[in-house]
Amino acid sequence: MGNLAVNLGGLAMKNPVTVASGTFAAGREYHDFFDVSQLGAVTTKGVSLHGWEGNASPRIAETPSGMLNSIGLQNPGVEHLKECDLPWLADVGATTIVNVSGHSFDEYVQVIEALEEAPVDAYEVNISCPNVDAGGMTIGCKTASVEEVVRRCREATARPLIVKLTPNVTDITEIARAAESAGADAISLINTLLGMAIDARRRRPVLARGVGGLSGPAVKPVALRMVWECHNAVSVPLLGMGGICTGEDAVEFMLAGATAVAVGTANFMNPCAAIEVVRGIEAYCDEQRVDNVTELIGALTW
């Protein structure tokens, strides 16, 4: 069997697979189906300083081309994560990435400061949620605000700092470069693509908020394109995600330039999706005689 270990900007992962934040909670429910410590890492749902209720319902819509959500970063706050989820993840031996959210630059920093003594292996700074009016994508669409928030988070921790980007921009490479220059150790892409669903009979939007983030296989070509563009634009490693359901999907992201991948929407359909992606990468490496999975990173040929 080939070596599956990768290093994502200082985060050692036993294999290149994590889960997309918000699709796996902290992993407890999934642990009934498989040992979550067998993943390269568990990425937890975005956490803010205090609990947030999120947006009004309905805030999930299934469309023929993917899932739309407008959750709005509902979460119980960082103290709950510290008391309940992080000790559990440490107990089961999981490598843990905490997705960090905030309404303001200060709040991102405060969340990181609150977690510095907790068992966390890396932070993923979420500047790409399309469903909040302050924070999220409002910060992640402009190079100046990307630089400021990443610089401030960088000053707050020596732990690996992954920055998660939004696809809802014209030039993803300029945003990626801004994150890299401000001190990001790795870049995640992509968060969800802003979209809308309409109920023709009722003549109204399906989601209470009107718009939401599209995820699932429909966004995979967009995500692959952005991973490939960023692989050619920055030197930091990339965490690719968007519609990954199988080992072969994951390999496509690695060939485009991702060092690691995250399984997102597929977790809702199949609770074993993430571990099946690990096994699928293993099978691909065996079949293709790949001794070390890192050989695949950016190995696209023309």
Positions marked catalytic: 129
Site string for ligand DOR, 71-90 (x = CB under 6 A): xxx-----------------
Determine, following the binding rule CB under 6 A, whether residue 278 of this chain makes contact with ligand DOR: no
Determine, following the binding rule CB under 6 A, whether residue 22 of this chain makes contact with ligand DOR: yes
> CA angle, corner 189, sides to 97 and 7, nearest 5?
50
* Shortest Cβ 302–ligand DOR spacing (Å): 33
* Shortest Cβ 7–ligand DOR spacing (Å): 25
**For residues 71 and 176, which CB has a smaller minimum distance to ligand DOR in the complex?**
71
* CA atoms of 168 and 184, how far apart (whole Å): 20
> Of 18, 95, 128, 267, which one interacts with ligand DOR (CB under 6 A)?
128
* Shortest Cβ 75–ligand DOR spacing (Å): 8
* CA atoms of 141 and 248, how far apart (whole Å): 31
Determine, following the binding rule CB under 6 A, whether residue 69 of this chain makes contact with ligand DOR: yes
Instruction: Give 238's strand partners.
Output: 187
Residue 91 corresponds to which tokens in the numbers above? Answer: 């107990």
Known binder of ligand: residue 82? no
* Shortest Cβ 23–ligand DOR spacing (Å): 9
> Of 18, 44, 126, 188, which one interacts with ligand DOR (CB under 6 A)?
126
**For residues 15 and 131, which CB has a smaller minimum distance to ligand DOR in the complex?**
131
Determine, following the binding rule CB under 6 A, whether residue 44 of this chain makes contact with ligand DOR: no
Determine, following the binding rule CB under 6 A, whether residue 95 of this chain makes contact with ligand DOR: no
* Shortest Cβ 196–ligand DOR spacing (Å): 14
Residue 253 corresponds to which tokens in the numbers above? Answer: 């992201």
8 A C-beta contact, residue 286 and residue 258? no
* CA atoms of 209 and 141, how far apart (whole Å): 20
Subset of 199-218 contacting ligand DOR (CB under 6 A): 213
Determine, following the binding rule CB under 6 A, whether residue 131 of this chain makes contact with ligand DOR: yes
**For residues 189 and 296, which CB has a smaller minimum distance to ligand DOR in the complex?**
189
The full length of the chain comes to 302
- Counting residues that bind ligand DOR (by CB under 6 A) gives 14
* CA atoms of 22 and 27, how far apart (whole Å): 10
Determine, following the binding rule CB under 6 A, whether residue 243 of this chain makes contact with ligand DOR: no
Instruction: Give 42's strand partners.
Output: 96
**For residues 15 and 18, which CB has a smaller minimum distance to ligand DOR in the complex?**
18
* CA atoms of 12 and 41, how far apart (whole Å): 9
Beta strands in the chain (DSSP E): 6-8, 11-13, 17-19, 42-47, 60-63, 66-69, 96-100, 122-126, 161-164, 186-189, 193-196, 198-199, 204-205, 211-215, 238-241, 260-263
From 124-132, 152-160, 175-183, 247-255, give the range in contact with ligand DOR by CB under 6 A: 124-132
**Rg, Å, the chain Cα set:** 18
Q: Please report, as ranges, the residues that interact with ligand DOR according to CB under 6 A.
A: 22, 46, 69, 71-73, 126, 128-131, 191-192, 213
